[in-house]
Chains A and B, each alone.
Chain A
Amino acid sequence: MSTIHLLAGGFQAAFQFWPFLTIVTGLLVGVVAGAIPGISFVNAMAMALPFTYVMEPTQSMLFLGGIYVGGVFGGSISAIMINVPGTPASLPATWEGYPMTRQGNVKRALAIAVTASATGGLVSALVLAFLSAPFATFALRFSQPEFFAATLLGLVSVIAIAKDQPLVTMVSLLLGIAVGTVGVDPLYGQARFTFGVPEMESGVRFVVVMIGLFAIGEVVDLLATNRDLRPKKIDGKGLGVSFRDILNVKGAILRGTGLGCMIGVIPGAGATPGAVIAYGVEKQVSKRGKEFGTGVDEGLAAPEAAKNATTGAAMVPLLTLGIPGSAATAIMLAAMMLHGVNPGPLLFIMDPSMVYTIFAAMIIANLLMIVAGIGVAQVFSTLMRTPPAILAAFIVVLSVVGAYGVRNNVFDVYVCLAFGVLGWGMKRIGFPTAPMVLGVILGPLAERYFLTSLANAHQDWTVFFVRPISATILFLALVFVCWSLWPALKPIARRLLGRKERFNV
């Protein structure tokens, strides 16, 4: 049977009453969980796992798939509306989406975000359905040096958000990576920077740092400035965006989708590097690159498309090879194993109807996400009409619960509050917090991949340069750094060349 026939059968199965209801429920749970900072869709998937015991294997995958798709987008709702990313991948949404909200264009920001996310997710679901095999082969060629190179590319893309302060951005990023080194190291099992505190051995979780740096600082600023969260001007009736506006950002959406599909298929890469790299690339490519950070449509659309494009792509190694590339797909693997389903090439032969029902469900979930995203955003809009003091009180409580919920540990609450105070201070002096958060997220991954690569290669440093994919990614990272820094270096180079010419004359 051809792929189209199998996919048609998948749609038929997914559109039955109970499977469809399961997708919708999962999607709503995901969007809400993603939108609440600290709860995260991964936690929601973990909490939903026991509920899948009573479901059919396919139905359980539809439920978890729905949460996954909805959750990856949901994080952008709080990022756009209150400048607190619900998930790490929504970090770029705070850079462009929140300025739009402050300009009174919240509906426009949400409409662009949901459209870009749905497009990215839809394309990646189609990629999953039609191109699983070649993508899986590509993913299989990745090993530790390639993972390190990809993570490094994600880290250096932070230079794109540096605006005019690349030095401070680098300091902030390295400070974040240093924070990520607290606790037991990934290879030798030795504790670092614990200062005699046993709880420090488990390390500092990025979610806790993210909540502290973003949520607490924002809430305190809200209190100190008595800012009204209601939009200052009404951005028109309806969605606040026209079809032409969406067409204007089609390039950004397509670039983000392409990057998201490529990055998502790499096990371990995930939505966060995908979104950050897409933002960095878009800043360089876009004609409005210099305006990024002030609420530019392209800057919001590209990372949104990229992060949801990773959802379908991340399913490729899971379904074709049985390799979970992220926490979310690991939970899906667990659900499959619980039902006695072993993902891998044999699954496509033994139970193609299940596989193609999952593909169809991913497509349906991405289409339904537009409705679900707008619906949940409406609820959030209503919440924003409440007095800022009341809203801020609940943001603090949710942040503290979110930090506690990471490991059910009160120590994480203290860490979150400490980073909250630090984040407020950083904000007041204009020290960028986003690179630091990115460092805490990607730093531990980079260290693990770096050390294991060297350990596997008997400490031979050339391992990163002799492998074609790794060398190519590292070369791209170098090109990206030069490309990003060129506007800042150009006047210096021109001045130096000018002096030389004058000297020669």
Chain B
Amino acid sequence: MENRLTSDHRTDAQVGRAQSSGLRVLLPTVLPAMLVVLGLVLPLFMFEGDQHPSKIGLGPGAWPDAILKGMSFFAALWLAREIWVLGRAGRTTTLSPPDDDLSYSYAKAIGGLVMIVAYGWLLPLTGFALTTAAFIALWCVFGGVRKPLVVIPVSLLGTYALLWVFMGLALMPLSRGVGVFNSFSIALLQLLGIY
């Protein structure tokens, strides 16, 4: 039973790897094909439904239309080259991805991207001060800096320095958040002598 599980597990891993390598093989062909379609379809969505482009001269749609068609043309040439590459072994694809798959942690990378997007999304809601302090602390922990004596001062002093430079000195209207977070940000900024 145990052997069977292990064998099943291995099979899943192998299938996963095969699928991933299959994707890698297909990607150079799929990407230019998608760009060809994108260049041909996007001009259809250039103007809002109720808008009518001016008829004087070339009009506002001429330049983007030409650019997108140009992109489609070059993407089609790229696609043709990729199909030519698939035709015979030994030919190399146009794109050359970095050769660091063994040392690259995709889980960490995706985790980092999620954190960055969450930071940007929360910023207008919870305010710059609170979100930034939390983000710096969480990022440090996620990145391997786990000592509280490092993480907490870096996060708090760093946020204070950023607040002082951008809100105090450059007078940038960075977000204070909404509702209770707004009140908290105002109180904090008054306490720090920035307001």
Interface residues of A (CB under 8 A from B): 47, 165, 167-168, 170-171, 174-175, 177-178, 181, 185, 187-188, 190-196, 216, 219-221, 223-226, 387-390, 392-394, 396-397, 400-401, 404-405, 408, 410, 413-414, 416-417, 420-421, 424, 427-431, 443, 447, 450-451, 454-455, 459
Contact = CB atoms under 8 A, between A and B. Distances in A.
B31 A420 contact: no
Contacts of B98: 427-428, 430
B113 A192 contact: no
Interface in B31-75: 31-32, 35, 42, 45-48, 51, 53-54, 56-61, 63-64, 67-68, 70-71, 74-75
A226 B42 contact: no
Contact of B77 (A167, A221, A404, A428): A167
Given A171-B74, A171-B78, A393-B139, A451 B58 contact: yes
B149 to A, nearest CB: 13
A454 B108 CA distance: 51
B23 to A, nearest CB: 11
B112 interface: yes
Contacts of A225: 100, 103-105
Given A168-B95, A171-B71, A187-B60, A401 B77 contact: no
B140 interface: yes
Contacts of A190: 47, 51, 53-54, 60
B75 A171 contact: yes
B183 interface: no
A216 B117 CA distance: 10
29 contacts: A171-B71, A174-B70, A174-B71, A174-B74, A178-B71, A187-B57, A188-B60, A190-B51, A193-B46, A216-B116, A221-B109, A223-B112, A224-B106, A224-B112, A387-B143, A387-B144, A390-B140, A393-B154, A396-B116, A396-B119, A397-B158, A400-B120, A400-B123, A410-B123, A429-B31, A447-B63, A451-B63, A454-B57, A455-B57
Interface in B85-120: 94-98, 100, 103-106, 108-109, 111-113, 116-117, 119-120
Contacts of A454: 57-58
Given A389-B145, A459-B58, A408 B53 contact: no
Contact of A396 (B46, B100, B109, B139): B139
Q: 6 nearest interchain CB pairs?
A: A389-B143, A224-B109, A174-B71, A393-B139, A185-B60, A181-B64
Contact of A430 (B78, B95, B140): B95
B51 to A, nearest CB: 7
Please report whether the interface of chain A is mostly helix, strand, loop or mixed according to DSSP.
helix
A408 B109 contact: no
Contacts of A187: 57, 60
A216 to B, nearest CB: 6
B74 A170 contact: yes
A431 B68 CA distance: 18
Contacts of B140: 387, 389-390, 393
A400 B64 CA distance: 29
Given A167-B94, A196-B48, A413 B113 contact: no
A410 B174 CA distance: 9
B180 interface: no
Contacts of A226: 105, 144
Given A181-B63, A455-B57, A390 B75 contact: no
B173 A408 contact: yes
A191 B100 CA distance: 43
B135 A397 contact: yes
Given A417-B116, A429-B97, A430-B96, A192 B60 contact: yes
Contacts of B117: 417, 421
B136 A393 contact: yes
Contacts of B29: none
A390 B139 CA distance: 8
A224 to B, nearest CB: 4
B25 to A, nearest CB: 13
B182 interface: no
Nearest to B175: A410
Nearest to A192: B46
A215 to B, nearest CB: 10
A194 B46 CA distance: 8
B130 interface: no
B27 to A, nearest CB: 6
B63 A191 contact: no
Given A216-B116, A224-B112, 19 more contacts: A165-B95, A171-B32, A171-B75, A178-B67, A181-B63, A185-B60, A190-B51, A191-B48, A194-B48, A220-B112, A225-B103, A397-B132, A397-B135, A400-B119, A421-B113, A429-B27, A451-B57, A451-B58, A454-B57
Contacts of A443: 67
A386 B19 CA distance: 39
The residue among A168, A414, A427, A451 with the most chain B CB atoms within 10 A of its own CB is A168
Interface in B116-144: 116-117, 119-121, 123-124, 132, 135-136, 139-140, 142-144
A455 B67 CA distance: 19
A169 to B, nearest CB: 9
Contacts of B145: 387, 389-390
A168 B78 contact: yes
Nearest to B128: A401
A376 to B, nearest CB: 16
Given A170-B74, A178-B67, A408-B173, A388 B143 contact: yes
B174 A192 contact: no
A226 B145 CA distance: 11
Interface string B152-192: 00100010001000100010111100000000000000000
Given A181-B67, A413-B120, A389 B144 contact: yes
